[in-house]
Amino acid sequence: MTEMGWKKRVHGLRQQLTLIKSRAHKDSARFQELWRQIEYCKVLFLAHQLEARRKFLVRSRGGVVSLAERKKSLPLLGIATGIAVLAGMITKDGTVAVNAGVASSDGVLRALGETEWVVCLGQNLVVAPRDSDRQGKIWVTWKSLMVALDELAIRTKDESLGNLENIIAELLKNENIVFLPPPSTGWATV
């Protein structure tokens, strides 16, 4: 191959290398954006799972309260049933009546079961009513945890969070977290 042939070949290789570099930079930017979205989704997923657990506990607690305090809950459940019948009469649709009845009953159970909630930030995240027996070391209020999770979601634009242990460590550093004192043991200190 002549010297001119080699120069053409080298020039062609440089153009290909430039094209590869350009694609690599674009792909790198795409991967970085994807990574930021994944980090953001970690926080959203954690908040969503905690909220789902809290809603389940609210309904369960409402069911227990409704059974224990029938004088309060029976009129409310009667109103919910009345709403369902009324919705069925107005719309002449049984499905609407059932949906209205279920939604009303669910609302009553949630209203009866609502309380102040706390979360244990340990290896297993535990959601519990504040007035329950709390086992575990680090308990924080629900509201302060949700504020801290919102702030952490914003920070994911600039940094990687890692695994759940790292996320919990970051939450514990947050200045908005309100820690609860350990539950009293019942023993008085002298």
The pLDDT value recorded for residue 35 is 86
The pLDDT value recorded for residue 189 is 40
The pLDDT value recorded for residue 70 is 60
Domain boundaries, the chain: 53-114, 116-181
The pLDDT value recorded for residue 166 is 87
CA-CA distance, 17 to 40, in Å (whole number)?
34
The pLDDT value recorded for residue 11 is 87
The pLDDT value recorded for residue 144 is 93
Q: What is the pLDDT along the chain (190 residues), one digit of tens a residue?
A: 688 888 888 888 899 988 989 898 898 889 888 888 888 898 999 999 999 998 888 877 776 666 556 666 667 667 767 766 676 667 666 676 666 666 666 666 666 667 788 888 877 888 888 877 777 788 889 999 999 999 998 888 778 888 888 888 888 898 988 888 866 654 444 3
The pLDDT value recorded for residue 2 is 82
* C-alpha closest to that of 140 among 38, 50, 29, 41: 50
Kindly state the tokens that stand for 165.
Answer: 């242990």
The pLDDT value recorded for residue 50 is 92
DSSP string over 129-180: ETTSPP-SS-EEEHHHHHHHHHHHHHHTTT----SHHHHHHHHHH-TT--BP
The pTM of this model reads 0.66
